[in-house]
Amino acid sequence: MKSLNGLQSSAFIQLMNWIFRPLDFLEDCARQYGDTFKLNLMGLPPFTVVSDPQGVEEILSVDAKKFDVGRTNNLAAGLLGDNSLVLLDGAPHRRQRKLMMPPFHGEKVKSYAETICQITNKVADRWQEQSTFIAQKAMQDITLETILHVVFGLSEGDRYQQIKPPLIELLDLTGSPLKASVIFLPLLQQDLGEWSPWGKVVRRKAKIYELLQAEIDERRANPESAGNDVLSLLMSARDERGEGLSNIELKDQMMTLLVAGHETTATALSWALYWIHKLPEVKQKLLAELDSLDPDADPLTISRLPYLTAVCNETLRIYPVAFIAFLRFAKSKIEVMGHQFEAEEMLAPTIYLTHHREDLYPEAKKFKPERFLERQYSTYEFLPFGGGNRRCIGYALALLEMKLVLATVLSNWNLSLTSARPILPKRRGATIAPDNGVPLTLNGRRSRTKRDLVMASDF
Ligand code: HEM
């Protein structure tokens, strides 16, 4: 049996590193302790980081009965509610997940394609020529409108306009590493009035729940308005005793989808826009591929383009928005990579470290979409959406959105980075985002050129 390395530094120092410089910290640890090591963050139970694909597979491919996940997410309860899918385990998790999946599944997701392109054009039409805008904010507008469409069947309208400000404010409340501390430190999750960090979260959340309740009440009063959106499906679901979900269960799931489903994709898109405009050869190849398409190509043809797909994958590899998968809590003794873990120990597939292994991704610090054209990666080598029974339910939507938004923006608009300064990753809540949101300058509309068409044959 192999022995496991634990860090020598104090739990307080480990916590500070985890909050303020998580990626560098993980890399420092991996250099010193190898693929598998134990972290002990002050105030939180210790957990073991696993990044070797074999170890990741041993964790993610086992029967869900071996690990609990929901209870390791309990710190998210204050934000997402006790009934959130991410906090459930066992049969309740399976049941809720099954109910929530259909709108996020293959065929259904494809039906959102036109809407995503329309929303993108609408948001882009508001950009002013020769002026600067922040990619993260613009992408949030697009992904928020998309998720509201999928979850509620809402597009525009009063409720959309009302829900947007408190939701964005709520996410901004964890927008810096310091502010993000409220989601790691139970001690800080106390409502000490309107101006306290947690007090602000509680008040924004109450406002959103009020609006969600108004939407639920309206649907109950007009059952004929039920559509194919997630809220309609959840409202019509019945358990074996014929009982439906309570109002609070419905609101917690809606909140989970709104939070999990828009900021993540907006951040991934901002990173993609950064890399594309940072690296002229990437932009050139992408434009050539897009321009080689028939102008009336349907969105699904666009979503299958190989170089566009490779750019999206490389974006999610180099700075995976979620740099670590949910923690897995061993329900009984288990062996992973030759290490024995006792019941109640926690393991964490660490996406960032797996994605930066030189044996899998040579020159891992370089943005090289071509690696995804030259090699097929397994689901334990490339896992931006986690895996197993907790794999992100929105992954197909997120990927479709990334591809269509990028294709629409790049085909129609000529953008450039406002500054040549490199943009670095920074913690934003539980995610890793570009430190300044990626300022872009709009240089004008773009039209296709013959030269671009010729270049499409370059790859
Ligand atoms: C680029 C965008 C996104 C990324 C990188 C991402 C990443 C992830 C990751 C890493 C997990 C944890 C999986 C695990 O531990 O095995 C997760 C879970 C989840 N994601 Fe996403 N996600 C994205 C977009 C979305 C979208 C668009 C939605 C919803 C519409 C969504 C909803 C969820 C939910 C509900 C879970 C919890 C699943 C469960 O507990 O069963 N995510 N996501």
Query: What does 49-117 look like in DSSP terms, one character per residue?
Result: EE-SHHHHHHHHTS-GGGEE-GGGGGGGHHHH-TT-GGG--HHHHHHHHHHHSGGGSHHHHHTTHHHHH
Report which ligand 1 atom has the smallest distance to the Cα of 386: 16
Secondary structure in 3-state letters for 128-142: CCCCEEEHHHHHHHH
Q: Whose CA is nearest to atom 6 of ligand 1?
A: 385
224: CA distance to ligand 1 center in Å? 31
Given this model, what pLDDT does residue 181 score?
A: 62
pLDDT higher than 50, residue 177: yes
Average pLDDT over every residue of 263-291: 97
Average pLDDT over every residue of 363-381: 97
Report which ligand 1 atom has the smallest distance to the Cα of 104: 30
* 454 band by pLDDT with thresholds 50, 70 and 90: very low
Given this model, what pLDDT does residue 77 score?
A: 82
Q: Is the dihedral of CA 132, 135, 140, 146 positive or negative?
A: positive
Q: Read off the amino acid at residue 354.
A: T
Q: Whose CA is nearest to atom 27 of ligand 1?
A: 261
- Helical packing angle, 197-221 and 157-172, nearest 10°: 160
pLDDT digit string, tens, across residues 223-249 = 877 777 888 888 887 777 787 889 999
Average pLDDT over every residue of 256-269: 91
Given this model, what pLDDT does residue 174 score?
A: 64
pLDDT higher than 50, residue 459: no
* 430 band by pLDDT with thresholds 50, 70 and 90: confident
Given this model, what pLDDT does residue 3 score?
A: 62
* 167 band by pLDDT with thresholds 50, 70 and 90: confident
Average pLDDT over every residue of 268-280: 98
Distances (CA, A) of 345 to 68, 279, 302, 390: 11, 43, 45, 18
Q: Whose CA is nearest to atom 7 of ligand 1?
A: 385
Given this model, what pLDDT does residue 194 score?
A: 77
Query: What does 215-280 look like in DSSP terms, one character per residue?
Result: HHHHHHH-GGG--SSHHHHHHH---TTS----HHHHHHHHHHHHHHHHHHHHHHHHHHHHHHHH-H
pLDDT higher than 90, residue 324: yes
pLDDT higher than 80, residue 193: no
Average pLDDT over every residue of 432-451: 83
- What residue has token string 């997402």? 80
Mean pLDDT of the residues in the chain: 88
pLDDT digit string, tens, across residues 54-105 = 999 999 998 778 899 998 887 788 888 899 999 999 999 998 888 888 888 8
With vertex at residue 272, the alpha carbon angle to CA 357 and CA 406, rounded to the nearest 5 degrees, is 140
Given this model, what pLDDT does residue 224 score?
A: 79
pLDDT higher than 80, residue 343: yes
- Which candidate, 322, 170, 192, places its Cα nearest to that of 258? 170
Go through the domains of the chain in sequence order and give each one's CATH number: 5-458 (1.10.630.10)
| Alpha carbon of residue 326 to chain centroid | 12
- Helical packing angle, 395-412 and 247-278, nearest 10°: 40
444: CA distance to ligand 1 center in Å? 35
Which residues are near ligand 1 (CB < 6 Å)? 85-86, 97, 147, 256-257, 260-261, 264-265, 268, 321-322, 325-326, 384-388, 390-394, 397-398
Q: Residue 91 is encoded by which pair of tokens?
A: 């049969």
CB-CB contact of 149 with 159 (8 Å) = no
Which position has the higher pLDDT, 280 or 107? 280
Report which ligand 1 atom has the smallest distance to the Cα of 431: 5
With vertex at residue 432, the alpha carbon angle to CA 386 and CA 54, rounded to the nearest 5 degrees, is 30
21: CA distance to ligand 1 center in Å? 23
Candidate from 160-164, 192-196, 216-220 with smallest mean pLDDT: 192-196
pTM over 0.75: yes
Q: Whose CA is nearest to atom 1 of ligand 1?
A: 265
- Per DSSP, 153 falls in state -
* 416 band by pLDDT with thresholds 50, 70 and 90: very high
Given this model, what pLDDT does residue 171 score?
A: 74
* 161 band by pLDDT with thresholds 50, 70 and 90: confident
Q: What share of the chain is helix, strand, coil (3-state, %, to 5)?
A: 55, 10, 35
* 182 band by pLDDT with thresholds 50, 70 and 90: low
Phi, psi of 330 (to 5 degrees): -65, 130
- Which candidate, 322, 351, 329, places its Cα nearest to that of 430? 322
Candidate from 21-25, 197-201, 385-389, 402-406 with smallest mean pLDDT: 197-201
**Edge-first strand listing for the sheet containing 346-349:** 5-6, 36-39, 47-50, 346-349, 328-330, 67-68
Candidate from 228-242, 283-297, 420-434 with smallest mean pLDDT: 228-242
Q: How far is residue 455's CA from residue 54's CA, in Å, rounded to a whole number?
A: 40
